[in-house]
Amino acid sequence: MRSTGRRQPGDTWQPGQGRGAGGPVSQAPCTYDVVLSCAIPTALSDKRSLAVSVSRGSNRAHLGRRGGGDSEEDAFMSGVFIVSDSSCDLEQSETDVPNIEIVSLSIRFGSEEFTDRRDLSIEDFYKRMANSAVLPQTACPSPGAFERAFRNAGDAGANAVVCLNISSALSNTLQSAQTAAAARERGMPVHVIDSRSVSSGLGTLVLEAAKAAGGGADADSVLRRVSDLIPRTHVLAALNTLENLKKGGRIGGAKAMVGSILSIKPLIDISGGVVQEAGRARTRKRAMQWLYERMMGAGAIEHVAVMHSGAPDIDEFLELIARDFPREALRVRKMGAVIGTHGGPQMIGVSWIATA
């Protein structure tokens, strides 16, 4: 296909490679638990764990193409099925493929409990949070929810499952998946992986794993691909308020009040699977500039995504970075309830994978 001179999704960026700099570089039971403590003043401890699999201590599985079939069903046979959780913030259109299944976390507002994205849309979540006097809580899925997802994959003909979950330092979701995998006495192997990521960082890993599996890769090849991508995945965000952290008991009320008076915008880095304070900006514009500078300073990067929790100025940020990261080459999505609960409204985040 003839090049248009514009970057496309999946292109690799080099620092300073703008629109006029030539074409893209070619590419070779759970408790309420999610705790995004902003490291103000302390960071979460790193509790990341190694990948676990049972072989080593309406969706169908995508299996590769079968000759002669005309329908979508005819195009799939047995292979590797990808399971993840709703903190990956993928849209329905991205997960409505035969080899991906998402297990939802739960959201609770007082005595009301909802299944993430099933009983409560993203828009309704942010409306409720804005009008709620208390911070909503999030709960990881039960082992039974993962067990059902694994069983569905097996029933569809999958010969293996790769389960990618939110960082174990942020949630007990991984533990639920491990419990479900360990309970399987026989049958296909289930590999449970700590993504050490969240939101669009995790979402990218899920999409890349599904892409590899859909291309005919076996479980070992998918695991190698994921293991290669995890340490190169970066997630950063600029929060707009300290109010949610105050409501959640992460910082004191006095500090939140001072932060509000000074319009401090906390800047966080979740690239290693734990939330760490990366800086503080005095204005919203400076927070956006910080994100842009971190993107530009990262070297060659790919799979760039922009996430936000209902930010009214998201177009301003996209315009700021457009010269080097044109909008049509980005995944621009809204953060779901899992991250929005703790980061608060109007947050802007970015993720990417550093080119190997």
| Residue-range domains of the chain with CATH | 52-230 (3.40.50.10170), 232-354 (3.30.1180.10)
Of the candidates 239, 235, 223, 238, the one whose C-alpha atom is nearest the C-alpha of residue 199 is 235
pLDDT at 221 over 70: yes
Weakest-pLDDT range from 85-89, 215-219, 259-263, 273-277: 259-263
Write out pLDDT tens, residues 61-81: 332 333 333 344 433 445 999
β-pairing, 276-281 with 265-269? antiparallel
Tally Cβ neighbours within 10 Å of residue 253. 12
Identify any residues that bridge with 109 across adjacent strands, giving them in sequence order.
Answer: 112
How high is the pLDDT of residue 171?
93
How high is the pLDDT of residue 66?
31
- Mean pLDDT along residues 229-254: 75
Average pLDDT, the chain: 80
Q: Give the whole-angstrom CA distance, residue 198 versus residue 196.
A: 7
Contacts of 24 (CB under 8 A, 6+ apart): 7, 8, 11, 12, 13, 17
Weakest-pLDDT range from 6-15, 144-153, 295-304, 336-345: 6-15
Q: What are the φ/ψ torsions at residue 125 (nearest 5 degrees)?
A: -60, -50
- What does the buried/exposed string (b/e) look like for 78-112 if buried means 16 or more CB atoms within 10 Å of the residue's CB? bbbbbbbbbbbbbeeebbebbbbbbbbbbbebeee
Percent of the chain topping pLDDT 70: 72
More confident of the two residues 137 and 146 = 146
Weakest-pLDDT range from 40-44, 66-70, 106-110: 40-44
Report DSSP state, residue 45: P
State CA 59 to chain mean position distance. 20
